[in-house]
Amino acid sequence: MTTLISGGAPVAATERPPHHRAGGGFRNPWPTGDLHGLGDFLRWAVVERLTTRRPPGISRADFAAAFPRATPAPVLPRAAADQLVATWIGHSSFLLQIGGTNVLTDPVWGTRASPVPFAGPKRWSPPGLALDALPPIDVVLISHDHYDHLDRPTVRQLVRRHPAATWLAPLGVARWLRRRGVASVTECDWWDVARLGGGATATCVPAQHFSGRGIANRNGTLWCGWTIRAAERSAYYVGDTGYFPDVAGAARRAGGPFDLVMMPVGAYDPRWFMRPVHNDPADAIRAYQEIVAASPPATTDDARGPVMAGMHWGTFKLTDESMDEPPRRTREVWERAGLPPELLWLPAFGETRVVEPRRSPRA
């Protein structure tokens, strides 16, 4: 059972939260979040693509050779209460095993990120973990309603295989989920906190993005990230976002420090168009550093920073950069920043990592 135990942005009861639009729907409340309109989309998708010569980028065959799959090793049926184990399925989909709770983030097993099965961005790599190989799922976290994060065939499969799972979604998405058979779904606004089974909590946190599964309902539903805390372990699923100036405040308020930060690093080119809604590696690592600075360790024993898992790359070709560019650029920026190499995780498809706690063992 899921209980909403607190929530709401820190505004007066009669004041509309800044991310709520007058008349309904939602917006990014920061100057960095101004979205481009149809004219700019056509400039990119039609004019620039017809008139600009770009390198061809890596082929599917070469990509498969360059990024071999790992053998997933999730803990079955559950990790221990003091463990945090993450398995990358692809794109923004993780199996997160934290404090004895099994969590899926934005699960997508579908072949295409599209409203139709015969067109639209097609997978470059199969899911890193088969649906049949999942442990019992307790919680599913949804960040927003775009097709590469909310996949109808996957939802129906999960409903059939894991009917007791609790789904958490931002405002406006629950109706869509219920119509696809989800029995237990809790809708959250930014800063709402949901108490899950076993003492775990999940907090809905801000992100800078947009929503809509068609032209008619653009920004009619909310977008978000999630933090989850269970026992002494914590993780921050950043969701789909561009860099926004309050990322440090989100981390501070939402329960850091974290053991794991799942950060989007791909789908960013051309920068003039994608900057408001998608991190590039430089923005991703800037956000990571601000998250770390905003939630310093409680004691000098908490010597390690959080692991950053780079996600939102290598699965669907959504933008113009080559499919192999995001991990390479992320590694380069990380090294230039002088960050510890062991804290950067650019997972192989299906790779499982046991994330060590930030607290160093006592001598």
C-alpha–C-alpha distance, residues 161 and 172, integer Å: 25
Q: What is the pLDDT of residues 198-220, one digit of tens each?
A: 889 999 999 999 999 987 789 99
Where residue 321 falls among pLDDT bands split at 50, 70, 90?
Answer: very high
Where residue 359 falls among pLDDT bands split at 50, 70, 90?
Answer: low
Longest distance between any two alpha carbons in the chain, whole Å: 63
Share of the chain above pLDDT 70, in %: 93
State the DSSP code for 343. G
User: In b/e form, how buried is each residue of 108-130, taking b as 16+ CB within 10 angstroms?
Assistant: bbbbbbbeeeeeebebbbbbbbe
Q: Is the pLDDT of residue 197 over 60?
A: yes
pLDDT of residue 54: 81
- Pick the more confident residue, 303 or 266: 266
Q: Is the pLDDT of residue 11 over 50?
A: no
Take residue 142 and report the two structure tokens written for it: 């949804």
Contact predicate 106/141, CB 8 Å: yes
- For range 187-192, the mean pLDDT: 97
- For range 166-179, the mean pLDDT: 98
- Pick the more confident residue, 50 or 63: 63
How much is the mean pLDDT over the chain? 92
Residue 203: phi and psi, rounded to 5, are -115, 130
pLDDT of residue 194: 97
Side by side, which strands form the sheet with 166-170?
Answer: 185-188, 166-170, 139-141, 101-105, 93-98, 84-90, 352-354
Q: Is the pLDDT of residue 284 over 70?
A: yes
- For range 65-88, the mean pLDDT: 97
pTM of the model: 0.94
Cis peptide before 77 (omega within 30 of 0): yes
- For range 154-183, the mean pLDDT: 98
- For range 172-193, the mean pLDDT: 97
pLDDT of residue 38: 84
- Pick the more confident residue, 303 or 241: 241
pLDDT of residue 316: 98
